[in-house]
Amino acid sequence: MHDIATLATLIERHTPETGISGTVVRRLSLIRADQPSLPIPSVYEASLCLIAQGSKRVSLGDHDVVYDASRYLLVSVDLPLVGLMLEASPDAPYLCCKIDLDLPALADLMIAEGEAGPQHDLPALAAYPGDADLIDAACRLVKLLDRPESSAALAPLVEREILYRLLTGPHGATLRRMAKGDSHLGQISRAIARIRSGFDRQLRIEDIADAAGMSPSSLHAHFKAVTRMTPLEYQKQLRLQEARRLMMAEGASAGSAGFAVGYESPSQFSREYRRLFGAPPRQDVERLQAAGELAEAL
């Protein structure tokens, strides 16, 4: 059976440079960093993150989760998190594989497995003790990168095994709620999709509630319980993260970036940007460039 050291070797072989790399396995991404990072906000999609070497802290509001090679991260809905790589060096780089969760496949697996299992609510963001079977399956998924001609046929089978391991693990209740559209977690997932599709436009709470199939008051309560923020606060974080990407990756000015993501007032954009990132837009970008950071690579 493969272990965490094997996973580290596999990831390092396929990540010669720092950053995040997509792969021929559509839901698999590999991440490498050779030094600790600055805090980088980004949206984490529903996914499993397995660190093979190093450690990282992710924050959702005032809730911090630290994970490393002994603990994996499970994200149940798309969440705007702030990530900070804690341990990484050229000799011992941070190495992680991220596996996006296939919700239709999860729903199909639930039908096959039935509805057994605990039904209590669990956090949408949490770290869990390492699982040898899960690590072994992740190694076999990454190993498919050595035989890309086999990945189309074999990757779905390994991904299904990973979903099974998660479904029968301590977070099975959360995964069942993810796949059930009529659960509160499923409804919040639809609300998040609605916000993300129009984050640069003015959104009405009533429209988001309709997309989720909830009343506005129920949406507000359950949305905050899952994401630790209101729907409009969630939208604001999406806007500011995209504005940062535009300035970093495309060289946009602060004014044009703010306008592109829906801000009409430059002063309001600058004020809210500073509140999230800790510095005004141009100063923040200069700080990142001086540190050699690329926001999309984290």
The Cα–Cα gap between 60 and 65 comes to 8
Per-residue pLDDT, 294: 43
Decide: 227 and 79 in contact? Cβ < 8 Å.
yes
CA atoms within 13 A on the CB side of 63: 15
Least confident among 102-106, 236-240, 270-274, 291-295: 291-295
Stretch 222-246: mean pLDDT = 90
pTM (2 d.p.): 0.83
Distances (CA, A) of 281 to 151, 236, 242, 251: 42, 15, 12, 12
Which of the four pLDDT bands, split at 50, 70 and 90, describes residue 182? low
> Residue 100's closest CA among 187, 175, 33, 159?
159
Q: Which has the higher per-residue pLDDT, 3 or 37?
A: 3
- Predicted confidence band of residue 171 (pLDDT cuts 50, 70, 90): confident
Q: Residue 298: pLDDT above 80? A: no
Each residue's pLDDT tens digit, 106-142? 888 887 766 555 455 567 899 999 999 999 999 999 9
239-265 pLDDT tens trace: 998 999 899 888 899 999 999 999 999
3-state class percentages of the chain: helix first, strand second, coil last, to nearest 5 = 50, 20, 30
In whole angstroms, give the CA distance from residue 123 to residue 79.
12
Using one digit for the tens of pLDDT, what is the confidence trace for 31-58? Answer: 999 999 878 888 899 999 999 999 999 9
Q: Of the ranges 53-62, 102-111, 140-149, 202-211, which one carries the lowest mean pLDDT score? A: 102-111
* Burial tier of 139 (Cβ tally within 10 Å: 0-12, 13-18, 19+): buried
Strand partners, 60: 63
